[in-house]
Amino acid sequence: MIKNSMKMTAILFASSMLLSSCYSYTSVVGEGAKGNSQTTKWNHYVVYGLAPVGVSDSKQMANGAENYTVHTRQSFVNGLVSGLTFGLYTPTTTTVTK
């Protein structure tokens, strides 16, 4: 009985690791990035990402460029920080490529 429950727990754990993912989305402004100059900043949210505390401004990060790409994601480090704080602090990362 204990052996079966341990096996089932191991299968559930492995499945959860394979099915987990970090969300991301990309926005293209103008014709998109023409080069590979990047600026990266963290966005700060609290209570599982429901309340923004400090969100980066992609237009300001582009520094006046008319064509750029904005990629916002929750990286592994962001997810780790969120997990360690039990979701009270949930950061994301924004990268602007010009």
Does a structural domain hold residue 14?
Answer: no
Q: Give the pLDDT score at 46.
A: 94
Q: How large is the average pLDDT for residues 5-15?
A: 79
Q: Give the pLDDT score at 18.
A: 61
Does a structural domain hold residue 3?
Answer: no
How many separate domains does the chain show?
1
pTM of this prediction? 0.74
pLDDT tens sequence across 27-81: 999 999 999 999 999 999 999 889 999 999 999 999 989 999 999 999 889 988 9
Instruction: Give helix then strand counts, H and E, for the chain.
Output: 3, 5
Segments forming the whole domain that contains residue 34? 22-97
Which is nearest to 85 in space by CA: 56, 44, 54, 55? 44
Residue type, 49: G
